[in-house]
Amino acid sequence: MESMLNKLKSTVTKVTADVTSAVMGNPVTREFEVGRHIASGGPGLCWRIYNGTKKSTKQEVAVFVFDKKTIDKYQKFEKDQIVDSLKKGVQQLTRLRHPRLLTVQHPLEESRDCLAFCTEPVFASLANVLGQWENLPCPMPNDIKEYKLYDVETKYGLLQISEGLSFLHGGVKMVHGNLCPENVILNKSGAWKIMGFDFSISTINPSDAEPKYTCKEWEPNLPPLCLPNPEYLAPEYILSVSCDSASDMYSLGVVVHAVFNEGKPVFQVNKHDIFKSFSRQLDQLSSISPTVLNKIPEEVREHVKMLLSITPNVRPDADQMTKIPFFDDVGAVTLQYFDSLFQRDNLQKSQFYKSLPKVLPKLPKRVVVYRILPALTSEFVNPDMVPFVLPNVLLIAEECTKEEYVRLIMPDLTPVFKQQEPVQILLIFLQKMDLLLTKTPSEEIKNSVLPMVYRALEAPSVQIQELCLNIIPTFANLIDYPSMKNSLIPRVKSACLQTSSLAVRVNSLVCLGKILEYLDKWFVIDEILPFLQQIPSREPAVLMGILGIYKCTFSHKKLGIPKEHLATKSLPHLVSLSIDNNLNLNQFNSFMAVIRDMLSRMEAEHKTKLEQLHSMQEQQRSINISNPGSQSETTTSPPSSSKQIDDIFGSAGASGRENGSAAAPAPQPNREKQRLAKEQEQAAKLRNQQPLAPQSIKPAHNSNAKDLTSSLLNSMTSLSAMSLANTARPAPAHGAAAISTFPSAGPMMGSMGGPVSNGFNAPMGFQAGAMGMRPPGPGLYGGMATATSTPNFGALPQSQGPIGQTNKAPDLSALDSLFTPNQTKVTLNQMGPKAGPGPGAANAPWLNQFQSAQNAQTQVQGAAGAMGGVPSGFGMQANPFFSPQNFSQPANLNQSGIKHSASVNNDLKDLFG
C-alpha cells in the first residue's frame, strides 16, 4: 500500500513539475490556470495540450504549449526557423475566425522556455484519436486510449473539414498547405476544427477572379517541423512545385482514407528520398487498386478516388464535397442544423426542437451528451424557447447516469426551476418529476424541485393544480417525511378548501387518499380526518372521496382509527353524510358498508375490553369467596356488576333485583355462586337472541336469580309515576308470535297529557317509555323517573286523542295480524317508485340490493362493490382511490356553488370509473 502511495505521489509530483517547467514565466500563466496534460496536436504533434481555466471568469480553456527544450538538438538558426514557423501558424489562426477553425481565446505568448496560447476547450487531435500517441502524457489517458469514432461523428467531422476548406478557398483565398490528422482538433463537444496554418499560402492578388498561389520548393535538409507532412501532400506540390486549392482536396482524400484505415495514409513516403517516392506514388495513383479503398464506405468511395486523382482538375472542390449524398445522414444533418441555429428565428427553432425527440434515440450517447446537450442548454436564456428545449434536455437526462446528470445537466436546470412563465415549463417538470427526484441530490430537491411543486399547487391555473395533484402520488415515496408533513400536505389541504373548482377538490381528496400509506397514524388522525369535516361542498364525488379516506385509514394495517375516535367523531360524521340527498343508491350502500364495518369493529373491541374487565372482577370475587373468614378482604373487594347497578340506579335497581325486598339478608357463598351462574346464563341467552325476531313472553317466576336487564326494566317501569295502564293483550292468531320481548305501554305522553310526536309519524314509535312528575321521594334522579325501553319498529300509528282525555289501553291486535301467515306481504315493486316504460324497466338495477344475503362476500354485493369491489386492506388494489367506481357526479347537482372545471367530467370518469 505504501509503495502504491509513493508511486502516486511521485507521478503527481512529476506531472506538476512538468507543467510548472513547461509554462513557468510565460505570460499566459498570469491570466490562466494551467491544469493537466491531456493531448497533443499541431505539426509533428509538437504542441502539448493542457486543460485550464481563466482566473477571472473560471471559463474553461485549452492551453497549447511548445517546449523549446524539445528542439535543443538543432542548431540555433534551425531553432529559429522552427519557432518562426510555429509562430506564423498560430498568428494566422488567430486572425481567422470561422466555426470550422479552432477558436483562439488568448494569442501566442513567448517566454525563454516555451511558446503558449489558449483556445476553446479541446479533447484531442484527430491523430491522437486514430492512434498516434506521440507527445502524450504517461500513463496514457483512458478517454483517448479507448476512444472510437462513431459513424455519425466521422461523417459530420469530414463534412466540417470540407466546410472549413470551402471557407479558406472561397472566402479567404488561402491554401492550407498541411491538412492532416495532426492539424485537425476535436474540441470538447466533439466538433472537428482545423489548425496548423504554418505552411498556408495566400493568393498573390486577392482581387483576381482566379487566385494564384506560389509555393516553395521542397528542402529535404530542413528540420521536419519546418516542412509539411509529405504523406498528405499532393504530388504536384513536390514534383512540379505548384499548388492551388485542389492540392488541399487531395489532402482531404488522404485524410478520409486515414479515418477509415486506423490513421494510415494511402502511401508511405520515404522522407530521405521523397522525389523517388512521389514518382512511384504517381504511377500507383494513375491505376489505383480497388483494395486500397476497400475499407472506405461504398457511397463515398468514388468521391475519394476522384480526390486522389493525379489531375487537379478532376478533383471536386470543397463546396461540391459538402453536398455529396454521403453527408445526408440524419445525424449529420441534425448536428449541422445545431451549428447554424444562430441564423434561425424562433419559429424555425421551435419546429426543429419539436421533432428532435424522434432523432435523439438514433444518435450515440456521447454525441448527444457532449455535442447536442450544450447547444440545447444554451437556449435556456430565451424563455420562449424553454418549453421546446426542456423536453429534449430531460429526455437526454433519462439516459445519463446520476453523476453525469449532476455534472452536465443540473447546473443549467437549476435556474429553470424558478421560471414561472411560460406555464408549460411547470407542466413539463411535473410530468418528469420522478426523473428529477431520482437523480437530483436531496439538498437540491429541497432547494429547487419541491418549491416548484409547491408553486404548482398554488398556481392560479386549475389545469396545473389538477396535473400536480394527479402526479404527486407517483413520486410521494421519494419525498422525505418532514417535507411532506410540513409543506406538501398543508398545501394540498389548502387547495381543497379554497378552490372554486370541483375537479381540484376531488383530486385533492384522491391525492390524499393515495399518499396516506406514507403518513403515520397519529398525523392522519390529528390532521387529515378533522380536515374532512371542514370541506364545505356536498357533491357526490366529494362525499365519496371523504368516504374513501375514512375507509383507507380504517382498513390500513399501519394506520387504523381508535374506537374512541370512531364513536365520537368518525361515525357521527359518516352517518350525517350518508343521508345526503345527492347520493345515489350505490353510493349510499358504500357508506353503509363502511359504517357497518366500523360499528362491528368498535363493538368487538369494546366487548372484548368489557369481557376482560368482567373476567378480572370475577377472579377477584372468587378469591374473596374462597376466603370467607377474611372480613377485611371482603369489604375491600371491588363491587360486583349488581353492586355497580345499585350504585348507578339507586334503590330502584336494588328493589327490582331483590323483588322488592330491600332488607334481604346477604346470600351465603354457595347461593351467591348459583346466582352468578344463572345471571351469566341468562345474559348469554339474551345476547344470542335476534333483537327483532318474534318471541313468546314467558311469565316471570319469582326466583332469586333473574335476568338483570329484565329486572332493571321492570323496576324502572314500576317507578314511573305516570305509567299508562296495561290492559290484557288479545291473544294472537294461531301460529303467530308476540311482537316484542318486553310488554309495551301506550304512546309517550307529553306534559299536557297528549302523546309526543317525533316529527315524522303522528305518535312516537317508542312504546315502553314514560316520563312524568311525581312527589318527592326515593327514586331515580330525585323527582324524575325515566323508563327506557327497546323501540318497536313495527308499531303502527295510533290515533291521537284530544288533550286532557283519558287514554285507554291501545288495541294492538292489528300489529299481531301483521305477522300471521295469512297476511299479504308487500312486494319490492310496491316499496319503490314504479319503473317507467322502457326496455330496462323490468330489471331495475337497484332491486338487486334487496336480495337475500346468500353470497356474503361483501355487504353491498348488488351495488357493484362498496368501494370499487375490492377487499379490505391497502395498496394499489385495495385502495379505493386507485380503482373507485362509484364516485360518479350527477351532472345536474351543484348545490354548493362549486364551479365545475371544463375537464371535471372526464377527470371523474378517469378517476372513479
Which of 730 and 607 is assigned the larger pLDDT?
607
pLDDT at 255: 96
Strand, coil or helix: 261: coil
- Give the mean model confidence (pLDDT) for residues 51-75: 94
pLDDT tens-place string over residues 335-353? 988 888 878 888 888 899 9
- Percent of the chain at pLDDT above 70? 67
As a whole number, mean pLDDT of residues 635-652 equals 43
Close Cβ partners of 66 (under 8 Å, ≥ 6 residues apart): 42, 46, 47, 48, 86, 114, 115, 116
Q: Which residue has the cell 317501569?
A: 717
The better pLDDT of the pair 662, 492 is held by: 492
pLDDT at 29: 92
Mean pLDDT lowest among 8-12, 164-168, 512-516, 817-821 = 817-821
Q: What is the DSSP letter of 262?
A: T
Name 773's bridge partners: 784
Q: What is the pLDDT of residue 738?
A: 36
Contacts of 314 (CB under 8 A, 6+ apart): 306
CA distances 344 to 219, 347, 375, 379, Å, are: 49, 8, 14, 12
Cell 483576381 -> residue: 208
3-state secondary structure of 377: helix
C-alpha dist (Å) from residue 522 to 398, 558, 561, 776: 38, 11, 9, 50
Cell numbers linked to 802: 284530544
Classify 114 as helix, strand or coil.
strand
Q: Distance between CA atoms of 195 and 894, rounded to whole angstroms? A: 75
Q: Give percent of the chain with pLDDT exceeding 90.
A: 31
How confident is the model over 571-600, as a mean pLDDT? 89
Query: Which of 755, 741, 739, 671 has the alpha carbon at shortest distance from 705?
Result: 671
Residue 755 DSSP one-character state: B
Round to whole Å and give the CA distance between 315 and 312: 6
Return the pLDDT at 700: 41
pLDDT for 726 equals: 41
Q: What is the pLDDT of residues 368-379, one digit of tens each?
A: 998 999 999 988
Q: Which pLDDT band, with edges at 50, 70 and 90, does 837 fall under?
A: very low
Selected residue with higher pLDDT from 205 and 688: 205
Cβ atoms 504, 495 nearer than 8 A: yes
Residue 595 pLDDT exceeds 80: yes
Show Cβ contacts of residue 510 under 8 Å, excluding neighbours closer than 6 positions.
469, 470, 545, 548, 881, 911
Burial class (CB in 10 A: 0-12, 13-18, 19+), 98: middle
Out of 37-41, 98-102, 562-566, 775-779, which region has the weakest mean confidence (pLDDT)?
775-779
Angle CA(588)–CA(571)–CA(579) in degrees, nearest 5?
30
Query: What angle (nearest 5°) sits at the alpha carbon of residue 713, between those of residues 708 and 714?
Result: 100
Burial zone of 699 (CB within 10 Å; 0-12 exposed, 13-18 middle, 19+ buried): exposed
Neighbouring C-beta atoms of residue 509, cutoff 10 Å: 27
Cis before residue 297, ω within 30 degrees of 0? no
Phi/psi of residue 633, each to 5°?
-65, -35
Output 683 or 393, whichever has higher pLDDT.
Answer: 393
Q: Which amino acid is at 484?
A: M
User: So what's the pLDDT on residue 63?
Assistant: 96
pLDDT band at 881 (very low <50, low <70, confident <90, very high): low
**Grid cell locating 742:** 318486553
Q: Is the pLDDT of residue 157 over 90?
A: yes
How does pLDDT run across 745-758, given as a tens digit for each residue? 444 444 444 444 44
> Which of 80-94, 261-275, 337-351, 424-438 is modeled with the greatest confidence?
80-94
pLDDT at 765: 41
pLDDT at 418: 85
Find out whether 569 and 886 touch, Cβ atoms under 8 Å.
no
3-state class (DSSP) for residue 772: strand
The tens digit of pLDDT for each residue in 756-797 reads 444 444 444 433 333 434 444 443 333 333 333 334 434 434
Q: How many angstroms separate the CA atoms of 666 and 635, rounded? A: 13
Query: Cα(810)–Cα(384) distance, rounded to whole angstroms?
Result: 86
The dihedrals phi and psi of 748, each to the nearest 5 degrees, come to -65, 135
Q: How far apart are CA 312 and CA 249, in angstroms?
A: 9
Residue carrying C-alpha cell 428532435:
356
Determine the pLDDT at residue 100.
Answer: 94
**Is the Cβ–Cβ distance between 659 and 707 less than 8 Å?**
no
* Residue 696 clears pLDDT 90, i.e. is over it: no
Residues 6+ apart with CB under 8 A from 56: 31
pLDDT of the residue at 179: 96
**Rounded average pLDDT over 282-309:** 89
Tell me what pLDDT residue 166 has. Answer: 95
* CB burial readout 310-330, b (16+ within 10 A) else e: bebeebbbbeebbebebbebe
With cut-offs at 50, 70 and 90, classify the pLDDT of residue 450. confident
Task: Please give the Cα distance from 429 to 470 (Å, whole number).
Answer: 13
**pLDDT average, residue stretch 355-366:** 91
The dihedrals phi and psi of 811, each to the nearest 5 degrees, come to -85, 110
Q: Tell me the range of 463-467, 499-503, 615-619, 746-750 where mean pLDDT is highest.
A: 615-619
Looking at the predicted structure, is the pLDDT value of residue 168 above 90?
yes
From the list 658, 654, 655, the residue with the least C-alpha distance to 667 is 658
Name residue 737's amino acid: A
Bridge-based pairing of strands 201-202 and 174-175 is antiparallel
Whether the per-residue pLDDT at 283 is higher than 80: the answer is yes
| Better-scored residue on pLDDT, 603 or 748 | 603
The H or E element spanning position 50 is: strand 47-54
| Other residues' Cβ atoms within 10 Å of the Cβ of residue 715 | 22
Strands 104-110, 201-202: parallel, antiparallel or unpaired by DSSP?
Answer: unpaired
Confidence check: pLDDT of 555 > 60: yes
Cα–Cα distance for residue pair 26/36, rounded to 1 Å:
17
Q: What are the b/e assignments for 180-217, b being 16+ CB within 10 Å?
A: bbbbbbbbbbbbbbbbbbbbbbebeeeeeeebebebee
Distance CA 811, CA 295 (A): 115
C-alpha cell at 575: 352517518
The answer to whether 93 and 115 are in contact (CB under 8 A) is: no
CA 180 – CA 194 distance, rounded (Å) = 9
Confidence of residue 528 (pLDDT cuts 50, 70, 90): confident
Give me the half-sphere count of Cα atoms (radius 13 Å) on the Cβ side of residue 566: 21
Q: How far apart are CA 354 and CA 287, in angstroms?
A: 50
Query: Domain limits of the chain?
Result: 6-327, 520-617
SS3 337: helix
Are 689 and 695 spatial neighbours (Cβ–Cβ below 8 Å)?
yes
The predicted pLDDT at position 254 comes to 95
> Which pLDDT band, with edges at 50, 70 and 90, does 220 fall under?
confident
CA–CA separation, 669 vs 628, rounded Å?
Answer: 8
Using CA atoms, how far apart are residues 244 and 584, in angstroms rounded to an integer? 91
Q: Report, as an integer, the average pLDDT of 149-157.
A: 94
Q: Measured between alpha carbons, how far apart are the two ends of the chain, in Å? A: 66
Decide if pLDDT at 231 tops 90: yes
What pLDDT is stored for residue 698 in this prediction? 44
Q: Is the pLDDT of residue 154 over 90?
A: yes
Give exposure, 352-376, as e/b (b: 16+ Cβ within 10 Å): bbeebeebbeebbeebbbbbbbeeb
Tell me the sheet residues that pair with 193: 185
- pLDDT tens digits, one per residue of 327-338: 998 999 999 888
Phi/psi region, residue 502 (left: phi>0; alpha: psi -120 to 50; beta: rest), is: alpha
Dist CA 253 CA 304 (whole Å): 5
Sheet holding 114-119, edge to edge: 32-41, 47-54, 60-67, 114-119, 104-110
| Of residues 5 and 395, more confidently modeled | 395
Between these two residues, 159 and 220, which has the higher pLDDT value? 159
Which pLDDT value is given to residue 301? 93
Amino acid at position 820, single letter: T
pLDDT score recorded for residue 471: 83
Question: Residue 481: pLDDT band by 50, 70, 90 thresholds?
Answer: confident
CATH number assigned to the domain covering 6-327? 1.10.510.10
pLDDT value of residue 767: 39
C-alpha cell belonging to residue 767? 312504546
Mean pLDDT value across the chain: 74
Question: Looking at this protein, which amino acid is placed at residue 494?
Answer: S
